[in-house]
Chain A
Amino acid sequence: MATAAEAHIDVHGHDDHHDHDHEQSFISKYIFSTDHKTIAKQFLITGIIWAVIGAALSAIFRLQLGFPEADLGWLRPLLGKWISPEGTLDPEFYLALVTMHGTIMVFFVLTAGLSGTFSNYLIPLQIGARDMASGFMNMLSYWFFFVSSVIMLISLFIETGPASGGWVVYPPLSALPEAMSGSGLGMTLWLVAMVFFIASSLLGGINYVSTVINLRTKGMTFSRLPLTIWAFFLTAVIGILSFPVLFAAALLLVFDRSFGTSFYLSEIYINGEALPNVGGSPILYQHLFWFLGHPEVYIVLLPALGITSEIIATNSRKPIFGYKAMIISMMGITFLSFIVWAHHMFVSGLNPFLGSIFMFLTLIIAVPSAVKVFNYLTTLWKGNIVFTPAMLFSIGLVSVFISGGITGIFLGNSAIDIQLHDTYFVVAHFHLVMGAASSFGLLAGVYHWFPKMFGRMMDARLGYIHFWLTFIGIYSVFFPMHYIGIAGFPRRYYSFTNFDAFSGFTDLNMFISIAAIATFIGQFIFLFNFFYSIFRGRKAPANPWKSTTLEWTTPRVPGHGNWPGEIPKVYRWAYDYSKPGAEDDFIPQTVPFSQTMESNLPHENDMIALEKEMDAEEIVVHEAKH
Chain B
Amino acid sequence: MMAEDYKLVDTPVEQPLSMHPKKFALWLFIVTVVMIFAAFTSAHIVRQADGDWLIYDLPTMLWYTSAIILLSSVFMQWAYMAAKKDKLEQVKLALAITTVLGILFLVGQVKAWGQLVDNNIYFNGNPAGSFLYVFTFVHALHLVSGVIYLIYMLISSYKYKVHAKNMLNMEMCSTWWHFLGGLWIYLFIFLLLNH
Q: Do A and B bind each other?
A: yes
* Interface residues in chain A, defined as those with a beta carbon under 8 Å from any beta carbon in chain B: 2-4, 6-13, 16, 128, 130, 133-134, 137, 202, 205-207, 209-211, 213-218, 221, 240-245, 247-249, 251-252, 255, 259-263, 276, 278-281, 284, 287-288, 291, 566-567, 617-618, 621-622, 625-626
Q: Which of B14, B35, B43, B168 contacts A6 (CB 8 A)?
A: B168
Compute the total of residue contacts between A and B using a CB distance below 8 Å.
Answer: 162
Query: Do the beta carbons of A244 and B12 come within 8 Å of each other?
Result: no
Q: Which of B19, B25, B40, B124 contacts A262 (CB 8 A)?
A: B124
On chain A, the residues within 8 Å of B125 by CB distance are 261-262
A137 to B126, CA, bound (A): 40
On chain A, the residues within 8 Å of B54 by CB distance are 279
Chain A proximity of B173: nearest CB distance (Å): 15
On chain B, the residues within 8 Å of A8 by CB distance are 8, 11, 15
A358 to B128, CA, bound (A): 28
On chain A, the residues within 8 Å of B126 by CB distance are 262, 278-279
Q: Counting CB contacts under 8 A, is B39 at the interface?
A: yes
Known A6-B168, A218-B13, A245-B39: A210·B24 in contact at CB below 8 Å:
yes
10 A–B pairs (Cβ distance < 8 Å), ordered by A: A9-B8, A128-B12, A202-B32, A218-B13, A245-B36, A248-B36, A255-B123, A284-B46, A617-B14, A621-B13
Q: Which of A7, A9, A251 has the most CB of B within 10 A?
A: A7
A287 to B45, CA, bound (A): 12
A281 to B130, CA, bound (A): 13
On chain A, the residues within 8 Å of B138 by CB distance are 251
Chain A, Cβ-Cβ closest to B54? A279
* Interface residues in chain B, defined as those with a beta carbon under 8 Å from any beta carbon in chain A: 3-22, 24-25, 28-29, 31-33, 35-36, 38-40, 43, 46-47, 50, 52-54, 123-128, 130, 134, 138, 164-168, 171
Known A13-B7, A210-B25, A279-B126: A251·B32 in contact at CB below 8 Å:
no
Query: Do the beta carbons of A281 and B5 come within 8 Å of each other?
Result: no
Query: Do the beta carbons of B130 and A263 come within 8 Å of each other?
Result: yes
On chain B, the residues within 8 Å of A218 by CB distance are 12-14
On chain A, the residues within 8 Å of B33 by CB distance are 244
Query: Do the beta carbons of B39 and A244 come within 8 Å of each other?
Result: yes
Query: Do the beta carbons of B43 and A10 come within 8 Å of each other?
Result: no
On chain A, the residues within 8 Å of B17 by CB distance are 213-214
Chain B, Cβ-Cβ closest to A619? B13
Q: Which of A244, A287, A566 contacts B32 (CB 8 A)?
A: A244
Query: Do the beta carbons of B130 and A210 come within 8 Å of each other?
Result: no
On chain B, the residues within 8 Å of A279 by CB distance are 52-54, 126-128
Known: A12-B7, A210-B25. 20 other contacts (CB 8 A): A6-B165, A16-B6, A133-B24, A214-B17, A214-B20, A214-B24, A240-B32, A241-B35, A244-B32, A251-B134, A255-B134, A260-B124, A263-B47, A263-B130, A288-B39, A566-B9, A567-B10, A617-B14, A622-B8, A625-B8
A453 to B185, CA, bound (A): 49
Known A214-B17, A251-B134: A622·B52 in contact at CB below 8 Å:
no
A249 to B40, CA, bound (A): 8
On chain B, the residues within 8 Å of A567 by CB distance are 10, 12
On chain A, the residues within 8 Å of B31 by CB distance are 240-241
Q: Which of B12, B39, B134 contacts A216 (CB 8 A)?
A: B12
Q: Which of A9, A248, A276 contacts B7 (CB 8 A)?
A: A9
Query: Do the beta carbons of A281 and B28 come within 8 Å of each other?
Result: no
Query: Do the beta carbons of A217 and B12 come within 8 Å of each other?
Result: yes
On chain B, the residues within 8 Å of A214 by CB distance are 15-17, 19-21, 24
On chain A, the residues within 8 Å of B13 by CB distance are 218, 617-618, 621-622
Chain B, Cβ-Cβ closest to A249? B39
Q: Which of B16, B21, B47 contacts A134 (CB 8 A)?
A: B21
